Chains A and B, each alone.
Chain A
Amino acid sequence: MITRLEGADKVTGRARYAADVRLPGLLHAHIVRSPYPHARIRHIDASRAERLPGVHAVLSSANSPSIPWHDASSLFDRTVRYIGDEVAAVAADSDELAADAARLIDVQYEALAFDLVGEAREPKAEARGDVARGLREADVVLEATYRTQTALHNALEPHGCTALWHGDQLTVYESTQGIFAVRDEVAEKLGLAAQNVRIITEHMGGGFGAKQIAWKHTVIAALLAQRTGRPVQLALDRASENLAAGNRNATEQRLRLGAKRDGTLSAIDARIRVEAGAYSVGGEDSDVIGTYLTLYRCANVRAEQRSLRTNAGPAVAFRAPGYAEGNFALESAIDELAARLGIDALELRLRNYATRDQREDKPYTAPESLRRCITRVAAACEWRHQRPGLGFAAHDWAAGGGWPPAEAEVEFAHGAARVIVGVQDVGTGSRTALAQLAAAELGIGVERVQVELGDTQPGLYGPTSAGSATLATLGPVVQEAARLAKKSGHARAQRGENPKGKSIRTCGAQAVELAVDRDTGEVTVKRVIAAHDCGRIVNPLLQSSQVIGGITQALGYALSEKRIVDARLGDVLNANLEEYKLPTVADIPEIVNASESMPDAEANATGVKGCGEPPIIPTAAAIANAIYSATGVRIRELPITREKLIR
């Protein structure tokens, strides 16, 4: 079994994260955030803060350039649109002093009316066929509304960076999923050439989507470092992290599904509202309608989603954005439909799953992999022995095929190799899997391969680690560069395009076994069985880490996690890890990974697809379906906390 290349660094504390960088003269920065959900800033007086010994710089709209930011706002906008919006920043000798100084900045606000419901904006809609007819011709129509909560990423490492300048060269140690995305954005905001900005991510403590874009803190740290001539470290605290660094958008999904008596789906109608928060920060495009358009074969589909702009923290991608939310509703509804039709829930899925991408109108590269996943899970959970408390859900995911372009460089000499790429290892094990692919191509042991990544300096572009794309994008290039380097000793390669005529997707299925105590409302999940198509499995150990990790996060999403906002105050009440309840070790069921390696030769030369996001997708629906099976109670709203089940 090949273990992680960086394993020894991570178990000894040597692995260096953005806020672990120690430099002579390092200053610590703190951001002042809006205490109002909506307000105009009348006046800022920072003189008391500036006079505090040990304070080196204060930045606010009063003294810094107006850098344009999302939705026609600016870096330190004079209008603040949610509690947590950035107002000013301080750099001081210590964390404590920076916080003291932040409190001394006198900001006068004029409170404005705020809106937590939001007005629906223009819909994003897609349709095919004739839904009205599909519903008319259906023998059974299921109509139901499902709701999902705002979830917080809560990567254990908060967003943060350490910024320093050498002349006009900016270097930032950043906790990010996209070193190039951050480089380009920071360069643009600061009016620098991209090559004057270097982003380094040696290790990062989780992102799950919230670190796939550039946030204000990086530019703020860079400006403070510029102004003071000293390196500046800016790490968000947990409260800021949960107010201002992204969330999974809440949804309301009104569905109508029509089916023929034999189970054929005749219509899917989904009208969805998405709570997007105060800004479109980029990368938040949660494609909730996606799975309605693709998971099942259906001629008549209409799916539309409208986002609602509210005075709350902005939404951003969160592991399988849109699909985790959409799947909960669709796969709960399919279960309800199966019960109405009197058809076995799993059988109904097998009769309807799609083998073509109906959105793109192309065949899938692996059209039968979903069937394989479903049948593997069915076998592993002994679906034929139906019993109360057993629930099932299938899923698809539009990504996983990789996002060209990308480059890689390989040096090969004396039986050892050096691989250089421009991606980052966000904890998924990219270093290790890439080393394995290179080692295999070069015919050497993986311990003879050194992988250098997480640095924009070499100028080898790599995509953001999102869309389960990293290995599927980089794997084929590294393999190709290694093939060439084997002959020449040194080679670079470019990632080719994905196949044109076919669509690459990932998919899978899960079953959940649980028990419900109706007297106390307590749910105990006993077992989750999962099979996911991620193409060829390069490293079974790392792949199972992704599977257990996704399912563990999904347990929180299904059962305990929810951002709570007071409607009258517009304030988040649980922007912490105390009342925002992540699963603990005691909440974890036995997780059985029944995935098999299914090399997808048509996807790319390695046969690899991504597996980062899929495991989080079907769990919530499988849990809701298992709860229905255990109790006869259908819960259509997440999270399923005990008040929904108590008798």
Chain B
Amino acid sequence: MVTLDGQTGFHTGCSLERIEAIVRAFEETGDVTAADPDAVVDHGPGQTTFPTPELSGLRTGVREILDGCGWRRPTDPADHEAVGGFVDPDPDAVIDLGGTLDGRGWRDLCHDAPLADTWESVRSAAGDPVVVVNAHGNAADTLLLESAPFEALDGAVALADAVGAERVIVYASADDERAVQTVRDAAANYPDSPITVDVETGPAEYRAAEPSMAIESLEGNHRLEARIRPPDLDAVGLHGRPTLVHTPRTLAHLSVALREGEPAGTRVMTVTGDVADPVTVEVPASETLETVVDAAEMTGAFKAASVGGRFGGVTDDLTVGVKPDALAANDLGSEGVVRVLADDRCLVEFVGQRAQFAADENCGRCVPCREGTTQLAGLLRDVYDGGYDPEAIEELIDVMTTSSICAFGVQAGRPTRTALSAFESEFEAHADGRCPAGSCLEPLEA
């Protein structure tokens, strides 16, 4: 992106050499269009929001929450202030807005639930509350920390102030180094506030994002396992204090709602899998999965989508809306990650890998998840030997879902459960010794 005096040129998919050439061309000519950009947008000088070009991945949807990404300087508070950020809201106004917002993603303590009641209970609880920003493991959350950290921090600080917390802790994966560094810099530049903001990292393991394991990690436990609940973290959390755990997406929605006076009503979604480049887009909540999937360029013909993160639901129906209730009605997840699968993908193999991943990566605490995921992977392997027993698989997944301690085990069976209903014939074909996609049986027989 080259920008000067209200005109911006966009270059996509640049190598380092290409970037050097673009910079050289601009230095020589002073013209943002000198190096033949893929798109040019004319906008007024002093533009505070992203000037969206007609380019794949960027033209889709709207930009309320992701507005600052790629445009405002991530760690410069002046840029955030220029769009009306750092409002110093009345605590009651924050709580009221919480009634119109819900928690984004399974890593949020209030996943898909309105926020106001939980905020109110934390505000009135005895003990010093803490606000934890859980940025561990979701692409959109990492993007927000890297590109617009003040949206998350502004929301977190406003919330801390509203519930009487003196401390905000940003928690991210130790692997997301750039996000961690950027949010650290942003926190250091944060305008004077009585609320301290710390940034901590946890192990780069999938389960470490589960809210109670995030708290265990912040407490310094050398081994991460989930806590039993109730009471949940909002009553007894970090070092026993009332603790709110929200994702950067949730808090960015708060930050935007505070300055705009009303919620954005959008969903931030990431498309990944068999695509040329993964993209994170923001769409109105009235949109369908189709709009989201269309934002990315697929590398093959569409076969299925796994909707809702690592343990999402598998579907071939993209007419489903992106609202959590529409997704839930179709047994799909609302984590905001859609993985598209091209037609050379085998669904039995795909869900088998998810089940094995769950067996390898669970914390080991509860029987339905620790032993259930192992047995699930075994039942799926049995399919290859002709031992396809859908009732046994469904019974096991039901029990994992109703009796696991945390969201990991509750969700771990979802890929298999949904694939069984949407792609039953593939399982039957495997039981007959045939892989319709041709991807997983040959190597076995070889």
Partners in one complex: no
Residues of A whose CB lies within 8 Å of any CB of B are none
